[in-house]
Every structure is written in structure tokens, then in C-alpha cells.
Structure 1
Amino acid sequence: MSQDKLQTFCLLEIEKLLQSNGKSLRNYVGMPVPNNSLVSQFSNLMLLRELQFDIVSLTREHDTNVLKLNEEQRVVYDKIIDCISNKRHGFFFVYGFGGTGKTFLYRVLLARLRSEKRIVINVASSGIASLLLPGGKTAHSMLNIPVELTEDTVCRIKKDSAKAEVVRLADLIIWDEAPMTNKLAFKVLDRTLRDIMVSVSDRNKYLPFGGKVVILGGDFRQVLPVIPKGSRAEIVMASINSSVLWKYCEVLCLTKNMRLTMGLEQSTPQELRSFLDWILQVSEDRCGTVVNDKLFVDIPSDLIIPVLENPVEDIVNTIYPNLVQNFCDPSFFQDMAILAPTVDNVEEINNYIVDLLPAEEKNYLSADSICGSDVYYDVGVDWINVEFLNQIRCSGLPNHSLKLKIGVPIILLRNIDPAGVCVMELDLLCEI
């Protein structure tokens, strides 16, 4: 991109921010304004970003990695490329347990299509998963999927918007870790894509996902949709394979464990094989002992962290070695996470890690109040005071007192600025 184009691009972004606050570049004497002869090229900045990839680098990456695909991966790759090349619609689910090379396959597809100047919408159900693929975003952020889902809701994408144009021109949509998401989200996306794509062809309103080539991927052995206090049957019914869309889906299976083939730096193939076999046995309910209707699973000794004096300290030091030296590197957190069963455990571990970091700590307090909606007219609120509200702790919301330091990892739960970062995306705090 030339210097003139870069300057125009930058000025347009500044102008957008100023206009959102009732100002303009023209309000400031001496400030340059965008080059009118170039403005038309930046009419859809989102589309421009989707096309700003290094073609030479992507071509080299594709040519190298396509040769590494195994037979199963190659079948999936050829089927997807054939659909796109021949302008046919397709709805696929790439099913495979961890280590079968789903992410590697997606990267090869991304490199191939983007090197050909094609648009690929690449999303995941969680912010952590979206970090694994270049240009990845959370599905809710990229596709404007509402938080509250019903049978009648649609994505908040206007048919004449810049995002709708990107969707319209996209050759492929990849949704990783799809089993985590409620089936209603896919129905909402299907309804929206049919509405957007009808402007291309009337027949698209009768095709799943508006005739787009869509790849869902994941493993039903892992995390399924969360139904608060839901039964096993309710969780199963909320999964994508219980959706009316599933009958249109072609399931493509990956069964070969590529991690065993390639090995890992810190594990021998035999150690890795034993671990993966144990994981499969747990996920398929093939190990453990039932005592008084309760299942007890024996955890291999090499997976147990020895506790000396402080359990939290031992866990953090084991999962995040040299944390203080590496906490400013976003990639340090990509392959590691500490999962905890309760909110209290989460708070204890988070506070310990924040205390380790050398930056100055700042404490932010929430502004809590009682909802004034008529929906709660029959709820007695006289006894509820601000102090009581401050003490409430629940999953999905930060506590009343939020301790932060520059460099601490954070996850955005709700994005007020529509042009901001992804919801549920992992970020590092750069400024307080």
C-alpha cells in the first residue's frame, strides 16, 4: 500500500472516531483531510482488511503445508476446494478429537483461499480458540449474534452494511469449536445468511446458510453448550447435531492422531500416546470405578501436581513457569490455562497471579443498582441495598472489586464499542 493510501486510511479511521463524538478533522486548523480521489477505495474498510494479506507468504505456506496433509485431511481439503471452485453450496462438520489436525487443516485452507484473494470468515466459539487461526474472531463478535437467543432472532447485520458485503463476498465460513455453541445460534446465522444472500440469487433463501460453504468443527466429547442446571437430555437437545440444520450437514471425520506422528518437544511418543488414550477413555466413559452410584476416575500420577505448602502457588508455577518474565507476551498464554470448578477458586487464583506481577495495582469498583424494569414489579426490593448488591458474585460477571495491573491478561465479556475488540477475546491490558 502506498504512503498516500496509508495516510488516507489512517485519516478515515480518525475521522470515524471524531464523528462518533460530534467532531471532524475539519474542526482542527492545519489537520490534513482524506484524499477524495482515494476515499472510494476505502468505502468498506472491513472488506479491505479481509484482503490485506501477504499473498507471497501465504502461497509459500500453502505449498509447504498442503504436502503434509494426511489422507483424511486431504479428502476434506479437496471436498471444500471443489465446492468453492465450482460455486456449489456446502455444509460440513469436521469431527475429530484433539490432535487429529483440524486446526492445521483450517490453516491450509485459509492460506490457499487468501492467497487467491478470496475472503474467508474465520470464527470460533471462544476467544481462546479464535487465537489459533490467523485473522480469527469470536463468532458473536464477527457475526453480530445476539447474546439472548430465541427461535425468531437474527444477527444484527443490516443488509446494506459493510459487514453484510463482506459476508456476501465470502467464499468460506469456518466456525471452530462449534459444539460449544447452542444450536439456536446456528439457526440465527442461517436465517440471517439466507436474508443477505437472497440479493445474489432468489434460490439462496431455500439453501442452508444462504448457499454459503460453511465448515463447523470440533469434538462432541469436549465442552457442550452450557445449560444452567440443565439435565443431560437438555444439553444434548441444545447441541448443533440436534438442530433441524443437521440433516443438511455432511460429517467429515479425522481419526489419525497427528500429535503422535509429529511428537511434542517435551513428550516422547509413548508418553503422549498413553495420555491421549487415557483422555479418550475418560471422554467415552471407559475408565473409572463406580462406588455407590458415583464414578471415581484414577488420574495418572504424572499428571498430578505435587502440593508442598501452597496449592495455588504450586499450580501457577507448574502451569505458568517464569510467569513474571513472560506475562507481557500474548503467545505465552495460548497453550496453557487453569480451569477451576468454583468462582471462589477462580478469584483466589486470579488474585494470586495479579499480586505476582510487578506493575502498580489499581482497584476498580462496580456501580450496582436494582433493575427498574416492570418485569420485576412483584419482587420486594425494600430490603435490597447497595452493599448487598456489591457482595453478589456470579459466573460471567466480574466482582464488585476488580484488581488490575498493566500487562495482566483479561477477557472482554461485553463490548460496548461496536468497532472494538472481540467479545470473549483474550487481551493484555496496556493502559489503565
Structure 2
Amino acid sequence: MIRFALCLACLLLLSACQPPVRLMPAPAIFLNGEHNLFAANAHLDRSSQIEVFYATNRLAFGPSAAPAYTVFPGDELRMGVATLDIGGGGRSWDWLYEQSTQASAERRPQLLVNSMDPQATVPLGGSVDAPGEAALAYFRRIDEALAQAADPDLTIYVHGANTSVGRATAQAAQYRHFTGRNSVVLSFLWPSAENFMRFSHDVSKAGETAPAFAQLVRMLARHTRARHINVIAYSSGAMVASPGLALLGTPAPGYDPASVRLGEVYFPAPDADFRRFVGELQAYHGYPRRVTVTVNMRDSVLVLSRLHQRGSRAGRPDPSELGPEDAQWMVEASQRLDFDLISARAGDLPGMDRRSHVFWYDHPWVSSDVLLKMLFHFEPGQRGLQRNRSEAGLQYWTFPQDYETRLDAVMDGLVRTAAAQAQQDEKTSTQ
């Protein structure tokens, strides 16, 4: 009990202020000079500045051109464009390229929000089909970005608890940066209290935000040309996205769940009630291309969350909490449906803190796996992961010792495929 109190006190001290977001370590696929996602971007903006879209149900106040977003929910969905600077001071692209393609133990550069430019506001619960002219103009701007991108999918990033607007926006921006800036990313900013001591606020507001998330996805599917809408819901972001996806997976008069074109859904270290998460998964499963959950059974944040919430978390699940039917469904889903469970164990991942909660972007192997899933829709075996099976028959995946060798082979295959496609395109254009 004393040990737990000391750990909690340390976390409270750490959460007293929001630390800056620093550029995450370069994924392993960027550390080999032969493979570079930046090279795949025909319209690469060689600048230390980067843009991401955003949407929020936070209550806003102040001037409409530059509102401040509170920690409380409002009755509108506000959408805009954020501009960030990596490193600050107008650093050169050559400097940022070096930071992005080399392993470095030095302090990583900060991601700083320069501006949050509001574009449109729609009422929550309003019409999905007729959101208004400003919203339609905003969706056209997303289409313009998609037309310039190598990746035709739109990815929504849903942040975790204890996260400010600036921090959540920066996290989305660094993910976009390491797609080679090939992907269009939208950060969904739900009303976190931005303080660990108010975690109960975050739990409450995350659950209440699910309808707003579902409305946003439906509007994006209805009014943009995105091939698929992908979702990355980190930590407590799963409390928003999982029930939101369950709503999207529920048919209704005049609404077909297939119309939202869900692509890859990724839950890294999901801080959501395990039993509820499994029930929600059953409600929407079959509509996304694949659903992936990555867990660390020693995740220290989820240990504390379980004590607070009195139930195991989806990112650190206790299978004994499931009834026989749900347990059997999980086994069958892992074996034959488009559901993947990945174990991120420190013993398999060199240099990883065994209690890590941030492994999905902090460890170069795991972040590489995320990119291969989201950008190329590869299944785990195609990404170089190793298949395992528990005594109960649950299939799960781990990172093998020769992962880097497997990763090189995967990237070599992508390069060969891209070269063959380029030759075919050139041949077609000359006919």
C-alpha cells in the first residue's frame, strides 16, 4: 500500500504541468537509408512546419477567430486546421530530416503549435447530410489534402487522458510526420481535464463524447473522398472511440454502417473497461478492415487505472473477467476474424521500459509496425510479427528476435512493388 501511494504521488507531481511534446524516436524503417517514406511523397513539403486538421467538442470562449478551448464539453463540434513547428525558430528541412532518420540519444526537438485556425462549427446532434456551407468548405479542404497525398485514407487520432489541446495536436502531427507526410491526419480533441488528479472527469467526459465522435466520422464519410477512415485511439481515447465505433456499427433507419468506410482501427494501450470493450467490439466488428489492440501486461498507467476503475483495462486485460460466451468469441475472433492482439513485452523489445505506456510511438520497432499497418494495410504476419497461441486457443502476435531482418525484407518488397508499378505506369502512359 505504501509503495502504491508513493507511485501515485510521483504521478501526481509529474502531471502538475503538461510536458512539451518532443519528436518521437525515429521508427526503425527510417533508420535504414535504403528505405524512406519521405521519398514516396511526390508533394513533400520540405519544411519544419506541418499542418493537421482538428475537430473538438470542447466548449470554446473568446473571439471566434481565435477561441480558447476549455476542459468542458460544449454543444457544438468545432473544426479547423492547426499549424505546428518542429524544433522552433524556422529550422531547416535538412536538420529535421537528420533528426527524423537517425537514432539519437540527444534531447529530441519540441513540436510547437503556431496556430489553431477555426474553419467551421456544426451543432452536435445536427444533420449529417446538411452540415452547412462552412463545414462543406472544410471537408473540401480535406479532399484537397487527400488529392495531394500518397495515402488516400484519412486517419483520426484520439488522444488519451490528462492531455491538453496543444499536446494532442502535436501527437497527431508527429504521427503524420513519420508517415513521410504521406497521410492526412485529423486530431479529435475531447474535453480532457489535463490533470491526472481529475482523472474521474476524463472518464466521465470521454464516455459522453462517443456520439460526437460518431457524428464526426459519419460527416467525414459522407462529405469527403477518403478511401477509408482510419482510427488511432490511444489510452483513454479508447473510452471515446470504442463506444463511438459501437454506435457506428449499429444499423438505423436510413443508415448503413458500411457507409462510413472504416479502415484500420488501432488501439495502443487502450485504457477502457475490458468487458465493455469486448462487448462494443462485437457491435462494430466486421465493418473496419482490421481492428488491432496492442497490450503491455506490465503497463504501470493501466495498473493504476484498474485500481481507480475497479476493472481490468483492454490494454492490460484479465481474461477471467469475461463470461464463457465472450471469452469464446475472443478466441474465435483472434483466429479467423480481422482482429489482432499484439503483445508488446519488454523482453521482446530491446531497450523498452517494461512498464511503458507509450511504447507504440516511443519504441522504433512498435512505431514501425504501426506505420506498416496503417499505411499498407498489412496483416501481422506480413509485417514481420510472430504468431503465438495461448492455452485457451487465443491467437496473439509478438516481435521476434530477428524483427529487424524481417522488417528489411518487408521494406525491400515494398520497394520492388513500387518500382514495378512505376514501370507499368510509364509503359501505360506511352501506349
TM score, norm. by length of structure 1:
0.25
| Structure with the higher strand share, 1 or 2 | 2
TM score, norm. by length of structure 2:
0.25
Larger radius of gyration: 1
